[in-house]
Amino acid sequence: MPPALFTSLTLPNGSIIPNRLAKAAMEENMAGAGQLPDEQLHTLYRRWSQGGAGLIITGNVMVHAEALTGPAGVVLDASTPLEPFRDWALAAKSGGSQVWMQLNHPGRQVMATMPGVAWGPSAIKVDIGKQSKRLAEPVEMTPEQIEATVVRFAETARQAELAGFDGVEIHAAHGYLLSQFLSPLVNKRTDQWGGTLQNRARMLLDIVRAVRQNVAPSFAVAVKLNSADFQRGGFDASDAGAVIEMLRPLGVDLVELSGGSYESPAMSGRSADDRTLAREAYFLGLAEELARTSALPLMLTGGIVRRPVADNVLAGGIDLVGMGTALAVDPDLPNKWRHSDEAAVELAPVKIKDKALASAAGMARVREQLRRIGAGRPARPAAHPVLAFARESARERRALRRYRNWLNKRASVSSGDSTPTPNPETMRW
């Protein structure tokens, strides 16, 4: 018999997640002054914890202050004040949930308007058709930059533990930096970080080792991995299975499975090759294949909004059910599922032909719900995605000015700490 949704899960490190429902990471872009979590994020995460999720994974926290997915991204490194993060962790655990911080570096998936750096394993730009001009031109990372980035991930994990988080999740999916290194379509290197899958996985494996060495054994270390990139010739399910096996001896406690990237936004149900057209549990078939051989606990995320589907995920050998959009619309859904199989959420489909624009508009609509909940207001899922995208674009322009000013001030001050120092010659000011 598969485990029930409201039974606990004991991870390899001995820590216990109280039930099988997880709030998956969503990119909030809600940082306050100084790229820090503020009361809006605290309120949002308090609502999720009180809504009954057993595990809460934060939206991506950036390990490199000069490399953000958006101008209102949260940054945590050795020179960041920890008190706002302690408050964030307390809020996220207020209802009995575990809380993990997702650690990320965008690599080449950086907007052209952003200051800082756009790095990749190779100097190959993101191709999203006529919208490609919105993305930055990346430069190939040097060995020194790769090694400094490994240090950044490990340092941010250490800070997360000091702030009271229960674990971290290393983001190696959705086309961000570590996913780029794994992809044979993006990683064309001929050195020790390119070529074979073992080499393409080297940076991820080095980061996992460094993080595990930098935190206590009781602190959870997870990895978010694409089940597939959904691009012909890209990272596929057999690659994912091989990487999971590489992670097994390194002290990883959980692998979350998702899929896609900016180029093939399968995580929003819109892959480039139309293999995620199911309305819910987009990646369940691939995840079930991986579950048959995985020695590590697995979590599946992608479009789940109804309890019978969540039950099917567990029946397929998956250990945790991850939900993002559903909990952005109804933070109380886990508690409702304790008493009813009928509770569900519904979002109207985004009817835009351009897949990249449709994905961006859909995510803008979701982030608008997060801001409403963070402000103490109810979600408004009927919001028009195109209008939500326009409102978000205006907010991002204001946030970009704040981020640029903050980054300039930060660069002008010699911190004297252990944070790797960016090379001004590689900065896109």
What residue spans define the domains of the chain?
Answer: 9-413
- Other beta carbons within 10 Å of 154: 23
Q: Which residue has the tokens 């309890």?
A: 307
The whole-number average pLDDT for the span 39-45 is 98
Would you state the pLDDT for residue 252? 98
Tally the C-alpha atoms within 13 A of residue 304's C-alpha that lie toward its C-beta: 28
Residue 428's pLDDT band (boundaries 50, 70, 90)? very low
Would you state the pLDDT for residue 285? 84
Cα gap 281→151, rounded to integer Å: 35
Residue 25 and residue 73 in contact, taking contact as beta carbons nearer than 8 Å:
no
The alpha carbon of residue 204 and the mean position of all alpha carbons in its chain are separated, in whole angstroms, by 15
Cα gap 90→406, rounded to integer Å: 27
Residue 321 and residue 22 in contact, taking contact as beta carbons nearer than 8 Å:
yes
The whole-number average pLDDT for the span 303-328 is 94
Residue 299 and residue 17 in contact, taking contact as beta carbons nearer than 8 Å:
no
Would you state the pLDDT for residue 233? 72
- Does 264 have pLDDT greater than 80? no
Residue 331 and residue 21 in contact, taking contact as beta carbons nearer than 8 Å:
no
Would you state the pLDDT for residue 229? 65
- Does 411 have pLDDT greater than 60? yes
State what percent of residues in the chain have pLDDT above 90. Answer: 75
Would you state the pLDDT for residue 273? 40
Q: How far apart are the first and last CA of the chain?
A: 57
Report the SS3 class of residue 238: helix
Q: Residue 76's closest CA among 109, 37, 32?
A: 37
The whole-number average pLDDT for the span 97-119 is 97
Amino acid at 139: V
Strands (E) located in 165-287: 167-172, 220-226, 254-258
Would you state the pLDDT for residue 355? 77
Residue 406 token pair: 């903050």
- Does 277 have pLDDT greater than 70? no
Its CATH architecture, for the domain 9-413, is Alpha-Beta Barrel (3.20)
- DSSP 8-state class, residue 424: G
The whole-number average pLDDT for the span 362-377 is 94
Residue 345's pLDDT band (boundaries 50, 70, 90)? confident
Q: Residue 107's closest CA among 79, 141, 132, 155?
A: 141
Residue 426's pLDDT band (boundaries 50, 70, 90)? very low
Report the SS3 class of residue 74: strand
Residue 11's pLDDT band (boundaries 50, 70, 90)? very high
Would you state the pLDDT for residue 356? 77
Would you state the pLDDT for residue 267? 45
pTM of the predicted model, to two decimals?
A: 0.91
For the chain, the average pLDDT equals 90
- Does 296 have pLDDT greater than 70? yes
- DSSP 8-state class, residue 226: E
Residue 52 and residue 338 in contact, taking contact as beta carbons nearer than 8 Å:
yes
Would you state the pLDDT for residue 269? 45
